[in-house]
Structure 1
């Protein structure tokens, strides 16, 4: 018996009965048959290696682009004018000052300037009043009602995320006793003085530091668990804390309670009492109350109508004067407004059965139904209205709403008024007159034209090539000195050129690498016969030269070289004139820098250098991709940096322009992008996969046929051997 395991077949066979080594014979025959499969598999492997090498180039271009064409890293973005600044700025002889900063751009001039009377631009802003009120509690006439027997001496307090039940003492006779008892219980629960209990004119107030969050809520009466989730074999005695529950039949819910002190000796007696109660409320026979294993169970006798029991809230909050509603010193922004009406410091002016609020901000009217709208909903709606031009926000620390314009300057304004419900007034956001913003301004003296007052609507603006960023108001004079210092720009350009040369080296090395045709991808049988280090060395040879003289890579190199060789329309400089050039054709486009010449160009002619590098064409990139003449026009008009950027994007862009992604992605895809499964090489590899699967099926059939033929041969041989033995036996006599 032998076990046959190949890349295409795995079966168990009975062979060798005739003395023939059938497995060996079939193996040798199949080696010839596998020649075509091996050839297809090797072709597939070559495509996979080519795909990996294309992606290696894609990764190199992407890394270069991320380093030098990244708007999120402005200090390294070669498309930005600021990186070519050949100036250093000092403020009264210091490198920085807290009131403003200046960036001297390509249009700046070295010299001294005096800046004074600095005023920041501001938005128009309306700060609301406190939106949530203090929690006000009980009046003295209710104190005698508080007792454990009544079940109204318990409520929950949550302080900075920690929630605890507060149980009031029995026998409180007056409001002073209640205040003292509350103070002691809250101090014990959360620490001395964390929550203040203040008695004022017969009313109780609870307050805390504005940085804290404090809320009061009801606890749940324990009746539901005591009745429906407990073993009642020992009976039950109700107290004020476990004597209430509700029952729902269909869409109708009723609340039930037992007097504190009521007792039942077993589950059956309690079930009978509850049966009488539900018959009275829902009608006789609508609900059946029964017992199972000393537990109360409910069954509905009404067709297709469910019955259930649930817990109800205790009366603790109501007993201390909060009417059973949860209260907090902070507004619940996600709750429906109708549910938190009592939380506002100034009540919203809605009458009974009135739910609509409406208001106008900068001529835009907003209307809301308080039953379906939360404060978050209002803020989101206001903030998304571009015509209103304001941002509404809530400061949870100070419990205040704020209205602020999205723009700065004197033209920014807020006019806000209520139409119905008084919402803005309650929040302190209504305005009787327009509230306006403020322009930024400075007094600027360049030493030639005297003092000039410069006014702008934002805190960032440019004067004579110098970009000012105003940070604080300041009246006194500050002297700024602008001096030539191209060092930083030179170092950045050097780094850029070095990485550019590295890109060309990498691509050119692949283009010129010799192909080792005698080293084909290894077959499975060959790999099994070799050691790991032998396989590694072999495959290094097999992978070499796969992209030699590749047309796509040649196109990339040509684009990168043309980007820096061709002159830029409308500029009077070339790379060579500022100290950057290629020495000879042998260097295959690599650039070399004369640092001194580059420094002089940046110092003496910064505007032209900037234009040479970053001049922008009026033709958009997407237009140029799909239009040959537009592409040529964009190339002529664009600075060297934009040309290089375009050349890279032409090959690695992940967005579809003109129906196509970048050329490298169309060819080989990119890891992490959907092109990884949608590219030319992937399709070819998939086609080879289909061929390999088909060839494997054919080989299985071929191998099975060989085994069948040898099986027949062995049968004949065995038959002949049997006859021969018989004849020999006959002649022996």
Structure 2
């Protein structure tokens, strides 16, 4: 392999301009390379030195990172489950309640007082302020709209899909039917409503960057003057609103949609004619006859389709079999057909279907029962929930065959407008755009109308600052409002002269109350009554949850009631797991440090130049650099000091070292282990069981400067990690000051090795400038030489020619 001194090149020197050797025959470029070799060698030397600093920096950081991570894991209060320096980690954490009344209280956590306190009684539990409807809040009705068995004008677009190409991507636009979750109702019966519905369908399709198809495609509809419903919507046109220069085309759709727009032959239409401009469809498409309505009978509209009912959470589909159309050709027949099919799906006698004028009424029933020979007729079942959950296109929706929205049930329809939700309330004189005025706990709930959905109303209440949560209990058919404030601090009050009576006109209010718990401490004859807003609270380090009352007769503690006491034991498994993990990580640091300081560098492997790397494979480079990086910290004085500090946490022969060994943690007797720790788990568990207090103190004892005590195990380890890898304060740990660390961001660009590399960069920059100057000078000199030789050759040729003649 070529050495760095002979093969190194420089970008400013390798691009020698001009032409050489044409007259003189000299290899100018090679000569200049040789004449500048000394400067290049200096650059190479500095670059290698910088690379060595970089590798040294990496080696220091590998050690400091281990120390920082060790400190964060085992001495930081942010890691309670492994913080061996915290007394609470060693506290007895397996706490249980003891006594005849212990079922009324659950407990978790740690407390040094668990043995010295008891719960004498619970006078009352905390409850939040609530409002609950007394009766059913819905009208408990599920009914169709007015069913017309004759011919009706039906939209040919509703429920269909169209495909648009925007730029290079194709998007499908579903022309939905029914009512969306935000209360928007799709309607294609007039020019105005169809334009809104198609625009909403475009808005439902995301094209990225927060935009939808509605941002780039507009829709225009025109209406005819005729009162004939089949011509009320005469034309649909799409326009380009794009400002980014993308092409927009209509490329396809379902057969029904394409037929409605008169472009069933879309595949044969040219790309140009499919393009949508700011003026709309091309003249080719604009001249097509659109058929946006069709006349169909009720039987035509439902033939071969189905409607799904959900009864108490179970969904079944009723199919309209074409071969059985004679069974449902009129309202009575349709009612019998529904009832027969629903009985097959959900059981006989559970759902009654009866004609009601020109509508159908669906009611839940309790099936006939027979007791002692007496038959009990079907009675209404107010506890069961029945809904029309979904249907094929054309069955449901405002203009569907059944004239009923999907989602309608014998409960509130949360997605319909308030006045159409089935709420059992008086909406006389209320229009959809009229403001719904609600004030709860003096907080106005703004942005609501009678056209808002119940879902939106509840969402607005829950996200407001009123401090309450409202829910609709579907099975019970009731509203529930619960204060977010705990105990007696919570309240629910409606504003004067608001419209709350529309929603809550028959309800029961229950004020919030605080939990009252009697606690007795050892050494005191008088129990203390604690008043808390929540049934879960902290009791001197223990997390207490009360779930029942006991020990009181009225407001007085009952004598002789057995109190609840606490039994606390040490969580030995968690402690052993954490200590085992700590010793493993500690030993890994020792192993890493001693490997770094004992590995001798191989001087035959220097950092590679770019030119050398060009001559090698990636695998060869990797193997070379692994050897070149080894030994960067050989015999480093700082790491030697770190190694000694970790090897001798406690002085040999000290009482702390002897105690630690008696608890099952000793230093390895193998000299090559360099002071690694060894855990005797059996011995350690025995110490936890018999002498946990002394074991805890040995690990958690803090340093005391007045006595010279350096503290316990974790205090001494903390001193080591702070000394060598401290990340806070003006002066960081020794290794971080030397090489920086990602755990101390300001040190990345401010450390001694980085400063040395910055200085090298200045030297390299100066040498590169020098190399360019030298190269330019030599090029100029060779160019002058070539010019002179060329002139001499010309003169020689002239003389030869003259003499020859």
TM-score normalised by the chain length of structure 1: 0.56
Partner residue in 1 for 2:152: 148
Partner residue in 1 for 2:229: 240
Higher relative contact order (CA 8 A, sep 6+): 2
Indicate conservation of the 8 Å contact 2:666/2:678, yes or no.
yes
Matches of residues 616-655 of structure 1 in structure 2 within 5 Å? 640-641=713-714, 644=717, 648=721
Structure 1: how far apart are the matches of 2:420 and 2:21? Answer: 96
Partner residue in 1 for 2:591: 505
CA drift of 1:56 comes to 2.0
Partner residue in 2 for 1:345: 423
Q: Which whole-Å deviations, capped at 9, do the CAs of 1:689-727 have from their partners, x for residues lacking one?
A: 565456445433432332232222233334445555666
1:24 corresponds to 2:30: yes
Q: Which whole-Å deviations, capped at 9, do the CAs of 1:377-416 have from their partners, x for residues lacking one?
A: 432333xx8xx6x6666779988765556676x6665444
Partner residue in 2 for 1:14: 19
1:370 corresponds to 2:448: yes
Structure 2: how far apart are the matches of 1:487 and 1:230? Answer: 72
Partner residue in 2 for 1:53: 59
Structure 2: how far apart are the matches of 1:550 and 1:348? Answer: 88
Indicate conservation of the 8 Å contact 1:114/1:478, yes or no.
yes
Indicate conservation of the 8 Å contact 1:579/1:598, yes or no.
yes
What is the SS of the residue equivalent to 2:464? helix
Q: Which whole-Å deviations, capped at 9, do the CAs of 1:304-328 have from their partners, x for residues lacking one?
A: xxxxxxxxxx998499999999989
Indicate conservation of the 8 Å contact 2:96/2:567, yes or no.
yes
Matches of residues 145-544 of structure 1 in structure 2 within 5 Å? 148-149=152-153, 165=177, 217-221=185-189, 223=191, 240-244=229-233, 317=398, 329-331=412-414, 340=418, 343=421, 345=423, 355=435, 357=437, 359-361=439-441, 365=443, 368=446, 370=448, 375-382=458-465, 403-404=481-482, 413-423=490-500, 426=503, 432-436=509-513, 438=515, 458-459=535-536, 486=572, 489-514=575-600, 519-527=605-613, 535-536=621-622, 538-544=624-630
- Per the alignment, do residues 540 and 344 of structure 1 end up closer, same or farther by CA in structure 2, a change over 3 Å counting? same
1:708 corresponds to 2:799: no
Structure 2: how far apart are the matches of 1:293 and 1:696? Answer: 69
Partner residue in 2 for 1:717: 789
CA drift of 1:145 comes to 13
Q: Which whole-Å deviations, capped at 9, do the CAs of 1:410-443 have from their partners, x for residues lacking one?
A: 666544444442438826897644133656899x
- Per the alignment, do residues 434 and 547 of structure 1 end up closer, same or farther by CA in structure 2, a change over 3 Å counting? same
Structure 2: how far apart are the matches of 1:402 and 1:665? Answer: 60
What is the SS of the residue equivalent to 2:587? helix
Structure 2: how far apart are the matches of 1:403 and 1:397? Answer: 16
CA drift of 1:30 comes to 2.4
Structure 2: how far apart are the matches of 1:610 and 1:484? Answer: 11
Structure 1: how far apart are the matches of 2:25 and 2:516? Answer: 105
Partner residue in 1 for 2:306: none
Structure 2: how far apart are the matches of 1:155 and 1:236? Answer: 22
Indicate conservation of the 8 Å contact 2:104/2:549, yes or no.
no
Indicate conservation of the 8 Å contact 1:330/1:396, yes or no.
no
CA drift of 1:26 comes to 1.4
Indicate conservation of the 8 Å contact 1:418/1:424, yes or no.
no
Matches of residues 89-108 of structure 1 in structure 2 within 5 Å? none
Structure 1: how far apart are the matches of 2:404 and 2:614? Answer: 84
- Per the alignment, do residues 69 and 432 of structure 1 end up closer, same or farther by CA in structure 2, a change over 3 Å counting? same
Structure 2: how far apart are the matches of 1:87 and 1:144? Answer: 73
Structure 2: gaps (5+ residues): 1-7, 161-173, 196-217, 237-281, 288-393, 552-561
Structure 2: how far apart are the matches of 1:668 and 1:401? Answer: 65
- Per the alignment, do residues 14 and 216 of structure 1 end up closer, same or farther by CA in structure 2, a change over 3 Å counting? closer
Indicate conservation of the 8 Å contact 1:501/1:591, yes or no.
yes
CA drift of 1:614 comes to 4.0
Q: Which whole-Å deviations, capped at 9, do the CAs of 1:26-81 have from their partners, x for residues lacking one?
A: 12122212123223322321232133223323443455456546878765453566
Partner residue in 2 for 1:699: 771
- Per the alignment, do residues 244 and 466 of structure 1 end up closer, same or farther by CA in structure 2, a change over 3 Å counting? closer
CA drift of 1:90 comes to 9.4
- Per the alignment, do residues 325 and 579 of structure 1 end up closer, same or farther by CA in structure 2, a change over 3 Å counting? closer
Structure 2: how far apart are the matches of 1:244 and 1:139? Answer: 24
RMSD: 6.9
What is the SS of the residue equivalent to 1:15? coil
Indicate conservation of the 8 Å contact 1:50/1:547, yes or no.
yes
Structure 1: how far apart are the matches of 2:507 and 2:702? Answer: 48
What is the SS of the residue equivalent to 1:124? coil
Partner residue in 2 for 1:34: 40
Partner residue in 1 for 2:84: 78
CA drift of 1:512 comes to 5.0
What is the SS of the residue equivalent to 1:609? helix
Indicate conservation of the 8 Å contact 2:60/2:735, yes or no.
yes
- Per the alignment, do residues 659 and 131 of structure 1 end up closer, same or farther by CA in structure 2, a change over 3 Å counting? farther
Indicate conservation of the 8 Å contact 1:102/1:466, yes or no.
yes
Q: Which whole-Å deviations, capped at 9, do the CAs of 1:164-213 have from their partners, x for residues lacking one?
A: 648xxxxxxxxxxxxxxxxxxxxxxxxxxxxxxxxxxxxxxx9xxxxx98
CA drift of 1:493 comes to 1.7
Indicate conservation of the 8 Å contact 1:135/1:327, yes or no.
no
Structure 2: how far apart are the matches of 1:394 and 1:679? Answer: 61
Structure 2: how far apart are the matches of 1:453 and 1:293? Answer: 87
Indicate conservation of the 8 Å contact 2:121/2:518, yes or no.
yes
- Per the alignment, do residues 665 and 479 of structure 1 end up closer, same or farther by CA in structure 2, a change over 3 Å counting? same
Matches of residues 672-683 of structure 1 in structure 2 within 5 Å? 678-680=749-751
What is the SS of the residue equivalent to 2:589? helix
1:124 corresponds to 2:202: no
Indicate conservation of the 8 Å contact 1:86/1:487, yes or no.
no
Indicate conservation of the 8 Å contact 1:155/1:316, yes or no.
no
- Per the alignment, do residues 325 and 602 of structure 1 end up closer, same or farther by CA in structure 2, a change over 3 Å counting? closer
Structure 2: how far apart are the matches of 1:29 and 1:131? Answer: 99
- Per the alignment, do residues 634 and 646 of structure 1 end up closer, same or farther by CA in structure 2, a change over 3 Å counting? farther
Structure 1: how far apart are the matches of 2:696 and 2:503? Answer: 56
Structure 2: how far apart are the matches of 1:557 and 1:19? Answer: 66
CA drift of 1:500 comes to 1.3
TM-score normalised by the chain length of structure 2: 0.52
CA drift of 1:677 comes to 6.5
Paired residue total: 580
What is the SS of the residue equivalent to 1:42? helix
Indicate conservation of the 8 Å contact 2:437/2:448, yes or no.
yes
What is the SS of the residue equivalent to 1:45? helix
